[in-house]
Amino acid sequence: MIRQATQNDILAIKTLMQSEPGFWHDEWRHDVLERGLAASGGLAFVWEEAGHVLGFVCAHDFGFRAYLSELIVKSSERGRGIGAKLVEKIHKELSARGCAVMVADVWRDSEEFYKSLGWSEPDVKLLRKKLETKLSQHLNKGDGV
């Protein structure tokens, strides 16, 4: 069942993200999920069954376009359509808001999954700039936190 993600889901979402090798980054802020949910403007959802969070999706509506920031489904539950239904929920919510375009940086080998849902490559190239943070400075110096 899809439902709105809440602050009470933070630990389950974090555990889900940490279960996928390379997905969770230790240099992320301690409150990254709390901030993400707060910034989502109601565009964060979980797939829950029997009290267990099996999937999570989060997007952000910037008016001129939307950004799909996270999508993860528990590895043992993939292939059941959970990810597709979570993305479809985001599509419907954004369409209802009048948003015409959504972009995402997709996880590893999931490009074909997104293309099967009608996604295509944009006319632009996504670039990134890693920022030096207080946490990464401490980690680089070996100080710990």
Q: For all residues of the chain together, what is the average pLDDT?
A: 88
Answering whether pTM is above 0.75, one says yes
The domains found in the chain, sorted by start residue, are 2-141 (3.40.630.30)
pLDDT tens track for 92-102: 999 999 998 88
Cα 40 from Cα 13, distance rounded (Å): 15
* Structure tokens given for 48: 């829950």
* Structure tokens given for 104: 């995402």
pLDDT tens track for 23-72: 898 888 999 999 999 999 999 999 999 999 999 999 999 988 899 999 99
C-alpha distances in Å from residue 133, one per residue of 10, 18, 41, 52, 57: 23, 21, 26, 33, 26
pLDDT at 140: 60
Percent above pLDDT 90 for the chain: 61
